Structure 1
Amino acid sequence: MNAHLKTLAEEALKLRPDEREALVQVLIASVSEEDGVEAAWATEIERRAAELECGAVQAIPLTDALDQIRSRLK
């Protein structure tokens, strides 16, 4: 860790817990935006929602989905 980053971390740790949480969210969002990850997830969510709405796919209960996954892993 370089000196500047160490200083930033020390200062961040002096913040109240709620302020540290807000800082973490800002930092994560800045990385996600740079990578286009959030935009890609938004596109995927919209695609999946559209498939559900038009009936191209049907939702199944979580317990059924977990059972299917467990049986494939055996």
Structure 2
Amino acid sequence: MATEALDELHSQALTLSESDRAQLAHDLLKSLDIPADKDVSGEWDVEIERRIEQIDSDSASFLDRDTFRRQMEAKIKGK
């Protein structure tokens, strides 16, 4: 059950711009993260290198923000 303070904060957050809400959501989620797993960190390093190589070799494919957003909304809605 939400408290009055939480309700007020929620209302205020919804008045923020989309980019500010995204930054706030990112910061809140990040505050919930558990300490980094060293094995996972190493795996991310490998993945980042793989993606950089794809970009450098022109084999990477990209989506513009609007297309990505539409695709993610469709996935969330189960379409």
Normalising by structure 2, we get a TM-score of 0.48
Is 1:46 aligned to 2:47, yes or no?
no
Q: Which runs of 5+ in 2 are unaligned?
A: 47-79
1:44 & 1:22 partners in 2: Cα distance? 24
Deviation, 1:47, is 5.6
Q: Share of identical aligned residues, percent?
A: 23
Residue aligning to 2:24: 23
Deviation, 1:43, is 2.6
RMSD between superposed Cα atoms in Å: 2.0
Q: Cα deviations across residues 44-68 of structure 1 (Å, max 9, x unaligned)?
A: 241684xxxxxxxxxxxxxxxxxxx
Q: Cα deviations across residues 23-74 of structure 1 (Å, max 9, x unaligned)?
A: 0000001111xx22xx02x53241684xxxxxxxxxxxxxxxxxxxxxxxxx
Deviation, 1:15, is 0.2
1:2 & 1:22 partners in 2: Cα distance? 23
The 1:47–1:26 alpha-carbon spacing in structure 2 relative to 1, beyond 3 Å, is: closer
2:8 & 2:29 partners in 1: Cα distance? 19
Deviation, 1:18, is 0.6
Runs of 4+ in 1 over 3 A off after TM superposition: none
Residue aligning to 1:70: none
1:1-74 equivalent positions in 2, closer than 5 A: 1-32=2-33, 35-36=34-35, 39-40=36-37, 42-46=38-42, 49=46
Normalising by structure 1, we get a TM-score of 0.51
Q: Which runs of 5+ in 1 are unaligned?
A: 50-74
